[in-house]
Amino acid sequence: MADPYKNAGGDLQSFGRRGTVVTPGSSDLPNIAKGLVVLAAGDATIIPVDNVDSGTLSFTGLSAGAVIPYQVRRVTAATATLATIEG
What's the pTM?
Answer: 0.86
Residue 14 counted as domain residue: no
Residue 65 counted as domain residue: yes
What is the residue range of 56's domain? 35-85
Classify residue 49 by its DSSP letter.
T
Domain count, the chain: 1
Window from 6-15, 27-36, 62-71 with minimum mean pLDDT = 6-15
Residue 51 counted as domain residue: yes
Residue 3 counted as domain residue: no
How confident is the model over 15-33, as a mean pLDDT?
94
Residue 76 counted as domain residue: yes
Give the tens place of pLDDT for each residue, 52-79.
999 999 999 999 999 999 999 999 999 9
Residue 67 counted as domain residue: yes
Distance of CA 72 to the CA centre of its chain: 6
Residue 23 counted as domain residue: no
Give the tens place of pLDDT for each residue, 35-45.
999 999 999 99
Residue 60 counted as domain residue: yes
